[in-house]
Structure 1
Amino acid sequence: MIGALLVGACGTTSSVTAGSKGSAAGEKIDNLKIIVPAEPGGGWDQTGRAMQRAVDTAALAGNTQVQNIGGSGGTVGLAKLAQEKEPDTLMVTGLVMVGAIETNKSETTLADTTPIARLTEEPLVVVVPAESPYKTIDDLIEAVQQKGRGVSITGGSAGGADHILAGMMLKDAGVGADKLNYIPYSGGGESLAALLGNKVDAGISGVAEYADQVKAGKLRALAVSGAAASPELPKIKTLSDQGVDVTLTNWRGVIAPGDIDQQKAAQLTRLVDDMHGSGGWKKALKTNSWEDAYLSGKEFSGYLAAETTSVQGTLRDIGLTK
């Protein structure tokens, strides 16, 4: 199961060596670009802008800009990264992109990039509009069993973490993937608008993206997908505690263009290492209820390769790819 690979957060590591040009010499990046491969308002956007604030506050770069390039689960942005001529560029990535590469049959893959670091992980939450007749996760799954595609579930891009969780829940209940009516959006803000407008029956996203609306009483949370309750929504039980044998957490990280040299990769890794240790980033973790899952350098490269293999198998198992 994917969740088994996602929960083992490790301590800070780095591929930067004492002889790395730039990092060892204290050379600062003048202009850092952070590409967010999604529209504003979602988890990737929150991550990219939290990075920008932390980098700026700690004065780790001369100037930091965020660029949003949405579409197709991040694969539009991924293709742009492959053509990026500016080496001082980082792009937010994560489980969503790993899945979208497979479901969208993207010509550009993560093998065409330079892995830099895994940053965070967080559980997902399954919600319904406040007026929904579905009071429990069992109610929602039973409705899909009976109505099939008559029940709509929204979330992030096709093949991403939200889509994977929907498929895993139905598979656990013995419901075929053909009954899943999943409506993808490229940003969390769009899926939230669909839920609040009662245009869909249910939604799945990271806890941080829906928590405020749950607390405000505009959405009803049915379950979270982690191994334990989320501190952000402590009263909401996990799927496993409610008899659904599924555990899944969503990770996010950063990658760089694939054609940069080792010295530039080391310099970017050092910058992200320093950002991770900054007070601004620690504040962002607390504010967004993100779990620190930091892993950088060669260790992240190995993790990413194993994660890609795991996701490919899971997508086949739940019928999202062949």
Structure 2
Amino acid sequence: MRRDTFLKSLAALAAAGALPNAAWAAANIKMMIPANPGGGWDGTGRALGDALRDAGVASSVTYENKGGAAGAIGLAQFFNASKGDPNALMVMGAVMLGGIITGKPPVSITQVTPVARLTTEYNVFVLPADSPLKTMKDVVEQLKKDPGSVKWGGGSRGATEHIAAAQIAQAVGVPAAKINYVPFRGGGEAVAAILGGNVTIGGSGYSEFQPYIESGKMRAIAVTSDKRLDGINVPTLKEQGIDVVIGNWRGVYGAAGITPAQRDALVAMVVKATQSKSWAESVKKNNWTPALLTGKAFEEFVDRDFSSLRATMVRAGMV
């Protein structure tokens, strides 16, 4: 049997749940996380790695963090170093698309191989506990008085929290081009800036801020979902009269130059991982919304989201 035919057979069996775990025993996954430690991509990549091992489809997972430029630096390294490697994965998501639109890096997401969308996470906006501002209404009032005095902290330029800040400004009658957005290369840097009072308001996925919200070091004032998140008593922007809803999805890509059969095998491994107890625990712990989408359907979704995101950013004056 040809190797490609064999791999396709394994992939089909794994997707159907009929493949013994031992068939994947030789898989040593190399996970590129194109962000600094402590952020949403880092958490997603490591949770997926744990799930791959828990599901028995990988014997080991190694990680490499390479932050900067909304993931473009890590993307370039992944593209150049992993060509043809069927065991290489890279975490990515909506933030990377925004960074590609604004930064126009030499390597684009279309040069690597789409595998799966995993989750959607809505942004939460927070204030430092000792901030004189207490609510989103306070932030909006200050924004209307002096847009530049409100420093919005978050991920790289083009991140969903950047777009959300621009949409909030537009919704309350402030030109989006006037917002003062301070980008950070990773969640850890953003957290430090918020806690240190170096930005007025911070935005990111709830999981990144959860420990600080629960400890009282940050005050959560709004979420970007269309309804309140389960178990989290934080009002939506819509509840507060600001008609903005935006989600931040995350997924994984494979290396450039792998065969269709190798891609199918990676898809099957990831699907198997998302069925594991470890993954279910991570989803619950981090308040992620499961959003599994694989293969061609995922590729088409990325194309649509890229076009939609670019149109939004053009209207907001970000491109």
Instruction: Give me the TM-score of the superposition, normalised by structure 1.
Output: 0.91
Partner of 2:99: 100
Letter of the structure 1 residue corresponding to residue 176 of structure 2:
A
Does the alignment pair 1:32 with 2:13? Answer: no
- Give 1:24 deviation, angstroms: 4.8
Partner of 2:275: 277
Partner of 1:5: none
Does the aligned pair in 2 maintain the 1:22–1:263 contact within 8 Å?
no
Does the alignment pair 1:302 with 2:270? Answer: no
Larger deviation, residues 137-146 vs 94-103? 137-146
- For the residue of structure 2 that corresponds to 1:70, the secondary structure is coil
Distance 2:212 2:39 in 1: 14
Partner of 1:115: 114
After superposition, where does 1:57-136 map in structure 2 within 5 Å?
57-83=54-80, 84-85=82-83, 86-136=85-135
Does the aligned pair in 1 maintain the 2:120–2:291 contact within 8 Å?
yes
Distance 1:220 1:286 in 2: 22
Distance 2:5 2:269 in 1: 13
- For the residue of structure 2 that corresponds to 1:131, the secondary structure is coil
Does the aligned pair in 2 maintain the 1:73–1:186 contact within 8 Å?
yes
Distance 2:255 2:27 in 1: 17
Partner of 1:226: 225
After superposition, where does 1:5-44 map in structure 2 within 5 Å?
20-24=8-12, 27-28=23-24, 29-44=26-41
Does the aligned pair in 1 maintain the 2:223–2:235 contact within 8 Å?
yes
Partner of 1:150: 149
- For the residue of structure 2 that corresponds to 1:295, the secondary structure is strand
Aligned pairs, how many? Answer: 305
- For the residue of structure 2 that corresponds to 1:23, the secondary structure is helix
Partner of 2:253: 255
- For the residue of structure 2 that corresponds to 1:61, the secondary structure is coil
- Give 1:75 deviation, angstroms: 0.7
Deviations along 1:226-246, whole A, 9 cap, x unmatched? 01112252x211000100000
Give identity over the alignment, percent.
Answer: 38
Does the alignment pair 1:312 with 2:280? Answer: no
- For the residue of structure 2 that corresponds to 1:192, the secondary structure is helix
Between Structure 1 and Structure 2, the one with more helix by share is: 2
Partner of 1:10: none
Partner of 2:51: 54
Instruction: Give me the TM-score of the superposition, normalised by structure 2.
Output: 0.91
Partner of 1:181: 180
Does the aligned pair in 1 maintain the 2:7–2:261 contact within 8 Å?
no
Does the aligned pair in 2 maintain the 1:168–1:318 contact within 8 Å?
yes
Does the aligned pair in 2 maintain the 1:120–1:294 contact within 8 Å?
yes
Deviations along 1:20-62, whole A, 9 cap, x unmatched? 1542575425211111100000000000010111111222112
- For the residue of structure 1 that corresponds to 2:245, the secondary structure is coil
Runs of 5+ unmatched residues, structure 2: 14-18
Distance 1:82 1:172 in 2: 39
Larger deviation, residues 174-183 vs 300-309? 174-183
Partner of 2:290: 292
- For the residue of structure 1 that corresponds to 2:27, the secondary structure is strand
Deviations along 1:236-285, whole A, 9 cap, x unmatched? 11000100000011110001122111111011111001111111111111
Distance 1:247 1:191 in 2: 22
Letter of the structure 1 residue corresponding to residue 92 of structure 2:
T
